Amino acid sequence: MDTILIVDDEDLFRNRLQRAFESRGFLVYAAANYDEAIKVIKEDKPKLAVVDMKMPGKSGLELIRDAMVIDPDLKMVVLTGYGSIATAADAVKLGAIFYLPKPADVGDILNAFNRSPEVEIDNQPDDFTAPSLARTEWEHINRVLADCGGNISETAKRLGIHRRTLQRKLYKYPPDK
């Protein structure tokens, strides 16, 4: 069974990726920050890792650098919503296989891993069902809200919708799928 570590400080996004990888037969380890990720790498030795670039505390670049010292065989793909060519180059120089902008889905991540000749992954899900449009919208709104530090007015401005419309959408429970 392939093992993968997902490192992302956004709980919703990390949990969604975890469920998607588990449904494809992976044993998934999850970490919200640098310290949790280093502990998993030392103790559980995952084969693959998906690393968020921007996290509280130490960054994804620092995690890549230190993880390569602990386990040089670990294959990593970097995800970020704050991408630039310079940080992409730095991530690859430090040992990442590929660099993807957020939001990325499991297919994008697996394709990035498959760019490396040392990694072979079955990228065909058996019974994969895509999240509904309502669920995807809800997750995107919450991701932007988190980026805005919970500020409703700024979130509405970035999303291009009225503040009251945003509040109504946030008041609803998240769609199941």
Q: What pLDDT, on a 0 to 100 scale, did the predictor assign at position 157?
A: 94
Block residue for tokens 């690859």 = 92
β-sheet bridge partners, residue 101 = 80
* CA nearest neighbour of 121 among 77, 63, 68: 77
Q: What pLDDT, on a 0 to 100 scale, did the predictor assign at position 168?
A: 86
Domains and CATH numbers, the chain: 3-114 (3.40.50.2300), 133-171 (1.10.10.60)
Cis peptide before 175 (omega within 30 of 0): no
Query: Could you list the pLDDT tens digit for every one of the 177 residues in the chain?
Result: 689 999 998 888 889 889 989 988 999 999 999 999 999 999 999 999 999 888 888 988 899 999 999 999 999 998 877 666 677 778 788 888 888 877 778 888 888 888 765 555 554 455 556 677 877 887 788 888 888 888 999 999 999 999 999 888 887 766 766
Q: What pLDDT, on a 0 to 100 scale, did the predictor assign at position 83?
A: 61
Cis peptide before 103 (omega within 30 of 0): yes
Give the number of other CB atoms < 10 A from CB of residue 152: 14
Q: What pLDDT, on a 0 to 100 scale, did the predictor assign at position 55?
A: 83
Q: Do 88 and 99 touch, CB atoms closer than 8 A?
A: yes
Q: What pLDDT, on a 0 to 100 scale, did the predictor assign at position 126?
A: 54
